[in-house]
Structure 1
Amino acid sequence: MSGETSPGQRAVSQEADRRVRVVLVDDHRMFRAGVQAEIGDTPATGVEVVGEAGDVDQAVTVITATRPDVVLLDVHLPGGGGVEVLRRSASLMGAIDRPVRFLALSVSDAAEDVIGVIRGGARGYVTKTITGSDLVNAIFRVADGDAVFSPRLAGFVLDAFASTDAPPVDEDMDRLTQREREVLRLIARGYAYKEIAKQLFISVKTVESHVSAVLRKLQLSNRHELTRWATARRLV
């Protein structure tokens, strides 16, 4: 074999020589540790994790202090969620010297979550099922100013921004917190409590508490009624 380098290998090499500074924002410490182990500061990825945060206040503080290239941002966070981080960090995103760009990384694939953070200023949205190599690629693309979405999620954004009409207000849904909406969708899709707990990195007891709160707020009696309610609103 010759010593020539393929175009793909050259691209990887060029990315490896470049450093993209990243802040991880997620309220689950173990998940942050897993992401850092997968994409963290190694020549193979070119990604340097310069900070972490577990809630909105911490996120704004760390982002202000480190001024990273890209923030990996969870949608559901204590203190107001990813949208609140975007709102409070708006001045950094428009910085002249080096704008801070945001890539949502969430377990949620709900249309309103995707649209909410994109309207807030995020450059992309990928789910936590993404592979490490694809996430690294997404980070570099967002750092370069590209918009990055999983294919299904891109459809949500196109549909939302193609319409000039404001989405109808659902007063029942507005009663639920973001986490309760997330649990609601998974229940409606037939997930068991243990499966939901594993996906959301919470305890089974916490799942049960969220389900009880959803049933109470929506004035429903059981998960079967809840499933019918969610299906009627095309949330499944």
Structure 2
Amino acid sequence: MSQRRVVVVDDHDMFRAGVRSEIGASVDIVGEGADVDSAVKAIVAAEPDVVLLDVHLPGGGGTEVMKQVHQRHPEVKFLALSVSDAAEDVIGVIRAGARGYVTKNISGTELVDAIGRVADGDAVFSPRLAGFVLDAFSGAIDIASVDEDLDRLSQREREVLRLIARGYAYKEVARELFISVKTVETHVSSVLRKLQLSNRHELTRWATDRRLV
């Protein structure tokens, strides 16, 4: 059987190089992209069997890539490959048309297997995410309300929310996001106000209940 033709989309050069090194002998990597525009161009030009797609990309994110590609090439299959296992990321890309979602701690062998299965039409999820996706679409988790609440927050506010909920101190958040402590404080105040929460403990509980951390 001929090798699967794959386009790798991620905004980190080193990660793309790592994927090439890890699975390049088992699949045919026919293109790469680092943001929405370059990804769409590479995918349209190569018409791959599977696109390995990071969720967070400059220019509108992985969902925007799928939207633009599927308008012209609805047959292209996407496998999300991300460090994030947050609810809005997983459900967002599945709703946008991804055939699977795996996290970046996956092994090279497992990734090649996942690519093959997605190319054949299967849906593939990292073990921890499979049950979560079933819960979400069975109604056990109210994803609509999660989306509605998160829509009130800017992308930066979501990033701050997730880090605070994981227990980061304001200084650590500032360092992680390359912003000032004062800016972190401003974002936290804004998040609390928009979500009608009183303190960071309530914020952590809110995020944990919705599986955002």
TM-score by length of 1: 0.74
Q: Which moved more, 1:23-32 or 1:187-196?
A: 187-196
> Which residue of the partner structure matches residue 77 of structure 1?
57
Instruction: Specify whether residues 69 and 109 from structure 1 end up closer, same or farther in structure 2 by C-alpha distance, changes over 3 A only.
Output: same
Alpha-carbon distance in 1 for matches of 2:98, 2:178: 29
Which of residues 54, 57, 61 in structure 1 aligns to 2:41?
61
Pair 1:18 & 2:28 matched: no
Q: How does 1:27-42 map to 2 (within 5 A)?
A: 27-40=11-24, 42=25
Instruction: Specify whether residues 39 and 150 from structure 1 end up closer, same or farther in structure 2 by C-alpha distance, changes over 3 A only.
Output: same
Alpha-carbon distance in 2 for matches of 1:213, 1:69: 45
**Which of structures 1 and 2 has the larger relative contact order (alpha carbons within 8 angstroms, sep 6+)?**
2
The AA in structure 1 aligned to 2:204 is: A
The AA in structure 2 aligned to 1:137 is: D
The secondary structure found in structure 1 opposite 2:28 is strand
> Which residue of the partner structure matches residue 178 of structure 2?
206
Pair 1:86 & 2:76 matched: no
**Gaps (5+ residues) in structure 2?**
194-198
Which of residues 176, 179, 188 in structure 2 aligns to 1:215?
188
1:151: how far off? Answer: 1.9
Residues 35-55 of structure 1 deviation map (CA, whole Å, 9 limit, x = unaligned): 111111x2xx2x011111111
Q: Which moved more, 1:124-133 or 1:174-183?
A: 174-183
> Which residue of the partner structure matches residue 156 of structure 1?
132
Pair 1:167 & 2:144 matched: yes
Task: Tell me the C-alpha RMSD between the 2 structures.
Answer: 3.0
1:140: how far off? Answer: 0.8
Instruction: Specify whether residues 187 and 230 from structure 1 end up closer, same or farther in structure 2 by C-alpha distance, changes over 3 A only.
Output: same
The AA in structure 2 aligned to 1:189 is: R
Alpha-carbon distance in 1 for matches of 2:79, 2:134: 17
The AA in structure 2 aligned to 1:132 is: G
**Gaps (5+ residues) in structure 1?**
1-16, 198-202
Return the index of the structure with the highest Cα Rg. Answer: 1
The AA in structure 2 aligned to 1:37 is: S
Contact 1:127/1:150, CA 8 A, preserved across alignment: yes
Residues 67-102 of structure 1 deviation map (CA, whole Å, 9 limit, x = unaligned): 1111011111111111111111113553xxxx3110
Instruction: Specify whether residues 227 and 128 from structure 1 end up closer, same or farther in structure 2 by C-alpha distance, changes over 3 A only.
Output: farther
1:148: how far off? Answer: 0.2
Alpha-carbon distance in 2 for matches of 1:196, 1:219: 16
The secondary structure found in structure 2 opposite 1:176 is coil
**Identity percentage of aligned residues:** 63
Instruction: Specify whether residues 104 and 166 from structure 1 end up closer, same or farther in structure 2 by C-alpha distance, changes over 3 A only.
Output: closer
The AA in structure 2 aligned to 1:83 is: T
Which of residues 185, 190, 200 in structure 2 aligns to 1:226?
200
Q: Count how many residue pairs are aligned between Structure 1 and Structure 2.
A: 204
Q: Which moved more, 1:225-234 or 1:56-65?
A: 225-234
The AA in structure 2 aligned to 1:130 is: I
Alpha-carbon distance in 1 for matches of 2:73, 2:170: 39
TM-score by length of 2: 0.81
The AA in structure 1 aligned to 2:20 is: Q
Residues 119-163 of structure 1 deviation map (CA, whole Å, 9 limit, x = unaligned): 111000001111111111111111111100012211222122223
